[in-house]
């Protein structure tokens, strides 16, 4: 049962959050009041939020594609813009009705949000998710139990079973893609509370993504698709890397979500 806000009144919480710079103080107060089980827990949660911990880390969940995704402190909070990556992947998976239980791989899965949303949208999938951070792997395991997803800890493709080679229908990666120099410009919630490994993509932001793209043809099935999230500025460079790897590149973007996705499709077999 939610804690009664009487000892720490709703308006006092709103004021505290607003003074701490929370733009949506009313909404946040409502969520914190609903989540806390005791007045002491509520006071503690308000303190955490007022000192800058991201709301999702205080609540221990984030909303993504209409799902409630568990997130622990120091695990990347899934962003609304990544819902575009999901919708593009769902569209491509549905185009290929011959695959009743598509094989989906989510590299750099973080909390597992992207894979969970794909499984929820597509129905039965064979889902494999990978992250290098133990906290993220723990979270992803919790979030992917219902979908029967396998979660591996390690560097990109390295922990995946070799039997997946040439079988992956949808390969998604929302990898770190912030250029190192730009990390200092991020809001404190990301800069302070999300570890560099979740954000830092090297000098131009594409270091991890280039490795994802380079090895993708080895894992994709014929006609399978790689989808990676990038910034708008990075997209042409990522698309060049996709073409160099032998995949057919395409760039998709959503103005509404300020999101860019680079798609690479492995050509289907040619009839001789």
Ligand X SMILES: C[S@@+](CC[C@H](N)C(=O)[O-])C[C@H]1O[C@@H](n2cnc3c(N)ncnc32)[C@H](O)[C@@H]1O
Tell me which residues touch ligand X (CB under 6 A): 76, 78, 82, 108-111, 113-114, 130-133, 136, 155-156, 174-176, 197-198, 208
The CB-of-243 to ligand X minimum distance in angstroms stands at: 23
In angstroms, the CA 5 to CA 37 distance is 11
Residue nearest to ligand X (CB): 110
Q: Which is nearer to ligand X, 32 or 114 (CB)?
A: 114
Which parts of the chain are beta strand (E)?
A: 61-64, 67-70, 103-107, 126-131, 150-153, 168-173, 220-230, 248-254, 259-265
Report d(CA 47, CA 42) in Å as an integer.
9
Task: Please report how close the Cβ of residue 99 comes to ligand X at its closest, in angstroms.
Answer: 23
Whichever of 33 and 199 has its CB closer to ligand X, that residue is 199
CB of 137: closest distance to ligand X in angstroms?
Answer: 9
Residue number, 93 or 212, with CB nearest to ligand X = 212
Instruction: State the Rg of the chain over Cα.
Output: 20
Nearer to ligand X, 33 or 88 (CB): 88
In the complex, minimum distance from the CB of residue 153 to ligand X, in angstroms, rounded to a whole number: 8
């Amino acid at each position: 049962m939610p804690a009664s806000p009487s000892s720490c009144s709703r308006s006092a919480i709103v004021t505290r959050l607003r003074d701490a710079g929370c733009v949506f103080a009313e909404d946040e107060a409502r969520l914190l009041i609903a989540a806390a089980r005791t007045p002491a827990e509520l006071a503690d949660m308000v303190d955490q939020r007022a000192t800058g911990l991201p709301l999702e880390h205080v609540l221990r969940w984030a909303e993504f594609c209409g799902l409630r995704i568990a997130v622990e402190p120091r695990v990347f909070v899934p962003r609304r813009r990544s819902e575009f990556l999901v919708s593009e992947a769902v569209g491509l998976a549905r185009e290929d009705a011959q695959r009743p239980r598509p094989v989906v791989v989510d590299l750099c899965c973080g909390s597992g949000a992207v894979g969970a949303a794909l499984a929820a949208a597509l129905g039965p999938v064979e889902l494999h998710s990978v992250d290098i951070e133990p906290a993220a792997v723990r979270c992803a395991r919790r979030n992917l139990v219902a979908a029967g997803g396998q979660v591996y800890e390690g560097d990109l493709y390295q922990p995946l079973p070799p039997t997946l080679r040439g079988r992956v229908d949808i390969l998604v990666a929302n990898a770190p893609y912030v250029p190192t120099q730009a990390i200092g410009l991020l809001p404190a919630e990301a800069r302070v509370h999300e570890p560099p490994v979740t954000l830092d993509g090297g000098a131009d932001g594409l270091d991890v993504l280039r490795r994802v793209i380079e090895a993708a043809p080895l894992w994709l099935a014929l006609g399978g698709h790689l989808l990676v999230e990038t910034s708008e500025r990075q997209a042409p460079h990522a698309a060049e890397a996709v073409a160099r790897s032998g995949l057919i590149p395409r760039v998709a973007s959503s103005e509404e979500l300020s999101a860019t996705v680079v798609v690479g499709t492995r050509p289907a077999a040619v009839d001789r």
